């Protein structure tokens, strides 16, 4: 029984000590200063300010330009205007007679018919040969030797020969044949000639088909007579044929 009382007394004492301890803690906590509340956060305001554009640069100052002026020329004495002349009155006298063209010393031989240069080869029909189509054909045929300008027995067009005529000899210069009037005027040019070369290489006929003027065409016809040619050939045999040749007249 003594043990039970002693245990109860002990428990009571511990309970009382516990109460006193808690009461002391309450008193201490009540006297401790309370923590201050944290200040409320204020929102941060950001102001966006646009930077003003820089002012435009000032225009450059104009540079004065120096204008060159022409030098003053002394006044010149102008010739007086030509005096007005009265128009000539028509004369009652008759005009002078015109000069007649000189007559050729020798009448040209007119043989109506086609030229052999205009043919390529023979055909099944006969046509009179001559040197012009402007004329009345003769009722009696003439000797062919009078119509053809070449001596060869055969004429062949240049397109059918195997070997064209070539130059065998020529003058060193065309200066002796240059017309004096063309030389003084400074006229140059090419003279185009159509040459009928015989079977022996001689020139049977010369026609000027390109004339630059100033007498160069006639000079070219004279100069070509001083050339020597090799005849054209067909199958190794010389024949008469026609070629085109150009002479260049150039002032030295």
* pLDDT tens digits, one per residue of 126-168: 677 677 777 777 677 666 555 566 677 778 888 888 889 998 8
Q: Residue 91 — pLDDT band, cuts 50, 70, 90?
A: low
Q: Residue 34 — pLDDT band, cuts 50, 70, 90?
A: low
Q: State pLDDT tens for residues 176-210.
A: 888 888 888 888 889 999 998 888 888 888 888 88
- CA-to-CA distance for 131 and 142, rounded, in angstroms? 12
The predicted model scores a pTM of 0.45
Tell me how far CA of residue 87 lies from CA of 39, 92, 96, in angstroms. Answer: 128, 15, 21
């Amino acid at each position: 029984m003594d043990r039970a009382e002693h245990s109860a007394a002990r428990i009571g004492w511990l309970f009382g000590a516990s109460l006193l301890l808690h009461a002391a803690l309450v008193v201490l906590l009540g006297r401790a200063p309370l923590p201050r509340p944290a200040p409320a956060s204020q929102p941060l305001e950001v102001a966006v300010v646009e930077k003003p554009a820089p002012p435009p640069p000032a225009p450059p100052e104009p540079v004065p330009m120096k204008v060159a002026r022409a030098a003053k020329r002394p006044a010149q004495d102008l010739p007086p205007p030509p005096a007005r002349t009265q128009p000539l009155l028509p004369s009652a006298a008759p005009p002078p007679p015109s000069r007649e063209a000189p007559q050729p010393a020798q009448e040209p031989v007119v043989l109506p018919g086609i030229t052999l240069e205009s043919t390529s080869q023979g055909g099944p029909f006969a046509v009179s040969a001559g040197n012009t189509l402007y004329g009345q054909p003769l009722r009696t045929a003439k000797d062919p030797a009078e119509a053809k300008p070449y001596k060869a027995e055969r004429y062949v067009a240049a397109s059918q020969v195997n070997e064209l005529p070539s130059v065998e000899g020529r003058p060193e210069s065309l200066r002796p044949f240059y017309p004096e009037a063309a030389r003084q005027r400074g006229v140059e040019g090419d003279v185009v000639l159509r040459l009928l070369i015989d079977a022996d290489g001689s020139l049977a006929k010369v026609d000027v088909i390109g004339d630059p003027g100033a007498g160069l065409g006639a000079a070219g016809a004279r100069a070509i007579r001083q050339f020597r040619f090799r005849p054209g050939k067909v199958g190794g045999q010389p024949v008469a044929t026609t070629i085109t040749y150009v002479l260049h007249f150039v002032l030295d």
